[in-house]
Amino acid sequence: MKNLKVFTAMATLSIILFSSCKKNDPANPAGTLTQFGVKQGTIVYNASQDETETVYFDNYGKQFRIEIKSSDVVGIYILDETAQKAYYLDVPTKTYQEMPLADVQGLRDIITFEETAYSLAGMKKSTQTIAGKSCTVYTGTYEGVTASIGGWSGIIFLLTDNGVNTLQATSFSETIPANMFTLPAGYTKQQ
């Protein structure tokens, strides 16, 4: 259910963006990585009543880790573009799978805040404090669905669909624990 809400909100925002924009943003040509505006950080999101997602990043997003915890899933995705490695860790079974870089890069892209694109789309702009940061929030409506997206320093802190938070940052720190982007000891490769 949570994934459907996030998908619906992201689809609505995409329709608003791409139906309003006639040209690509010249400041961000296709194929370039929009990196986060801070070197490293830890963000905790409430994604639903029983799900939290914790994101760790370093090197402006080139190293990325997301831990998903809910009543039925406990998994970790790790991306290290410097080492050209990506993994999925199944925490309960202590196994891992090697992943295509593009798959985990896509997870990082979901929380990338593209402020220029939202501004060009003509979305209404406001400011809101979220997880201690003064975030810019853009709101738009398409076919009766109102969606908002808010962020700070290239990172999404808020995603709503018809006023319901589908993803909201609850805390942010510009620090990370050590060894977040390598395979932890004790995990075996899943066949």
| Number of independent structural domains in the chain | 2
Tell me which residue range forms the domain holding 8: 1-20+112-167
Q: Token pair of 33, please?
A: 């990585």
- Examine residue 46 and state whether it is found in any structural domain, yes or no: yes
Query: In Å, what is the CA distance from 69 to each residue of 17, 21, 55, 72, 115?
Result: 31, 36, 12, 8, 29
How would you classify the pairing of strands 95-98 and 188-189? Answer: parallel
Q: Does this model's pTM top 0.85?
A: no
Sorted by sequence, the CB contacts under 8 Å of residue 171 that are 6+ apart come out as 42, 43, 44, 131, 132
Banded model confidence at residue 115, pLDDT cuts 50, 70, 90: confident
- Examine residue 28 and state whether it is found in any structural domain, yes or no: no
Q: Is the pLDDT of residue 61 over 90?
A: yes
The answer on 128 and 67 residing in a single domain is no
